A and B are shown apart, each in its own frame.
Chain A
């Protein structure tokens, strides 16, 4: 009896930060993977890092799309703005005109703040717009940011790309995996805590029915702008990781709308408004896509087609996505278990 209550207490505690016992086990497995063959190979470690990077983006993206119901099409560009800010601040090389030489570990926070500021601006700009109009406005901001990054050639070198300093001297991928895994967890747990509070209720109310939310006393300006700012802050922070991990930045590979669409597709397939759905499926997806890509080198962009087809299928036939499927399956399973137990009892009784 005591043991059970302890178990319940642990499981409740995990629930607050958004984990089920199963989720925690999967996370521990994920954390141990880099020590197990074949995952300890450098190129597979890179896939794992990409997976965690995409997973964290999905969480930050779903925080806006899944809750206040505005698709931030400028997401990748905001992420890129954070990446460039951090990269330029860390620069020591004479190829670009400024050499502040700041540590990347500090730079990514400044990049995050700058991205948060842009998010704040996008939040204000899209305040009076609903649904698709807000999405288009955010998209325009993203295109403008891409243009700025392309044209500020004296500090970004534009399309020629820049080579930011990396976090570490090492060429091993393993430490980077733990950095991005920790970042992913910070993004997820922080946003999860926000969503569990009254803020989450306000976000959902605004997203689902703007007028009724206002008539219930919710100030939409406050919550929408806060939501955009926080989502963009984390996007910029993750962008900083990208810059100082890959050590190469071009506007096109980081800030293009297709990058937003990749995250959007994953977040939608994972399940809108769940936060964890996109995060969970990002890993198997990256592996599937990379495996496809390495076997079908003559079909570039195939992964985008697959994303698109899957996303359309999910949106039309199963809008709750993977998270919804999981909830359904769990429900069915516990129902079956309960019935099995119920049937077993009469046999034991006599």
Chain B
């Protein structure tokens, strides 16, 4: 078991944003995490990745308890993530952005030079521009690729992709899905994919967890989950089900 998050709870004051979410991920496994806006998907990822500690519950990563670890420690242990709104280092070049991950990430002790690993990651995601382009000149889609390359250059065992596919055209969507599968097949990385686009979920996820108001309401294969009345109700409202 790569990741084992058990009954994770996160309270913000009186609001329970994540309520007893349990989720397991194996190596080379892609798990979807879906739910309506504000369901607590990103908050759950943040709790696991160390952005803030969970209020209760346990997180085990590669067999070690990591509940409440800092994001930098999680990254160095092999958990990388992309951000919902890609957050690069605007004044650095594309290559330098990815170098940050290569130099300080999980493979920081690697004998292979960081620059080579950064170039490799950019090539892997088919970064379309010159490597010395400043990040602030990139458009949203290019930023997503850059952020993905940065996360990859860290050398992850587990990768969180937070709405990586949103805002893409149908053509770009297919390329992105192929890329995600290629990452899994090449590096054997386990992934949690947060996504609103059902095509992505059904296309690449082995298993899906649905949460609503922070609480898990269904889990199973994409097909099972999408036929679940509770899920349809969560997304489309009660009348449709009735």
Same assembly: yes
- Which residues of chain A have a CB within 8 Å of any CB of chain B? 198, 201-202, 204-205, 208-209, 211-220, 273
Tell me if B70 is interfacial: C-beta within 8 Å of chain A. yes
With contact pairs A215-B80, A216-B75 given, residues A202 and B104 touching in the complex (Cβ less than 8 Å): yes
9 residue pairs, one from A and one from B, having the closest CB atoms: A217-B75, A217-B104, A208-B89, A214-B71, A212-B87, A217-B105, A216-B101, A205-B100, A218-B104
Q: Is the CB of B105 within 8 A of A216?
A: yes
Q: Does B161 contact A (CB under 8 A)?
A: no
Does B49 touch A at the CB level, under 8 Å? yes
Complex contacts, A216 vs chain B, CB 8 Å: 72, 75, 100-101, 104-105, 150, 154
Q: Which residue of B lies closest to A223 (CB)?
A: B104
The CA-CA distance from A213 to B90 in the complex, in Å, is 12
B88 contacts the other chain (CB 8 A): yes
Interface size on B, residues (CB 8 A): 29
Binding site for A on B (CB under 8 A): 49, 51, 70-72, 75-76, 80-81, 83, 87-92, 96, 99-101, 103-106, 108, 147, 150-151, 154
A204, B104: Cα distance in complex, Å: 13
- Whether the pair B81, A217 counts as a contact (CB closer than 8 A) is no
Does the CB pair A209–B104 fall under 8 Å?
A: no
Considering residues B72, B87, B96, B151, which has the most beta carbons from chain A within 10 angstroms of its beta carbon? B72
Are B91 and A215 in contact, with the CB atoms below 8 A?
Answer: no
> Is B101 a contact partner of A204 (Cβ separation < 8 A)?
no
What is the CA–CA distance of A215 and B80 in the complex, to the nearest angstrom?
Answer: 7
Known: A216-B100, A216-B154, A218-B100. A211 touches B51 (CB 8 A): yes
Q: Bound complex: CA of A273 vs CA of B104, how far in Å?
A: 21
Known contacts A202-B100, A202-B103, A220-B72, then 10 further A-B pairs from the complex at CB < 8 Å, ordered by chain A residue = A201-B103, A202-B104, A209-B88, A211-B87, A212-B83, A215-B83, A216-B75, A216-B104, A216-B150, A217-B108
B156 to chain A, nearest CB (A): 10
Complex Cα distance, B50 from A220, in Å, reads 14
If A201-B99, A205-B89 touch, whether A215 touches B104 (CB-CB below 8 Å) is no
- Return 11 A-B CB contacts under 8 Å, by A number: A202-B104, A204-B92, A208-B90, A208-B92, A211-B51, A211-B83, A212-B88, A214-B75, A215-B71, A217-B101, A217-B105
Instruction: Pick the residue among A209, A217, A219, A220 that contacts B89 (CB under 8 A).
Output: A209
